[in-house]
Amino acid sequence: MYWGLFFQTEEEIAELEEEIRRIQDAIRGKINPMKLAQTRLENRTYRPNVELCRDNVQYGLTDEVKQIEVTKKALEDKLKQARLVHLHSLTELKA
């Protein structure tokens, strides 16, 4: 019975490590869309010879940046939780 639990725990740890890698990849995947949305918003804000206007495009870009930030924060929280579970599993395995 003990060895069965040991191998089950090792398998769970491997799954957690894969989940951590997927979350890290997802976080990295948000970098370029965020840069693009921020650049578009900044370019629109500082257009030469054009008054700053708050229109649907401006609101859309602002919402896009906020949504990416919220998604990235949720992924970072999920990553933190996965790392804590991983650490706990490793501790259990060594005990």
Burial class of 37 by CB neighbour count within 10 A (0 to 12, 13 to 18, 19+): buried
Q: Read off the pLDDT band of 6 (50, 70, 90).
A: low
For the residues 20-37, what does the mean pLDDT come to?
97
pLDDT above 80: residue 45: yes
pLDDT above 90: residue 13: no
Return the structure tokens found at 34: 């965020």
CB-side neighbour CA atoms (13 Å) of 85: 16
What residue spans define the domains of the chain? 2-94
> What is the value of pTM for the model shown?
0.81
pLDDT tens-digit profile of 34-43? 999 999 999 9
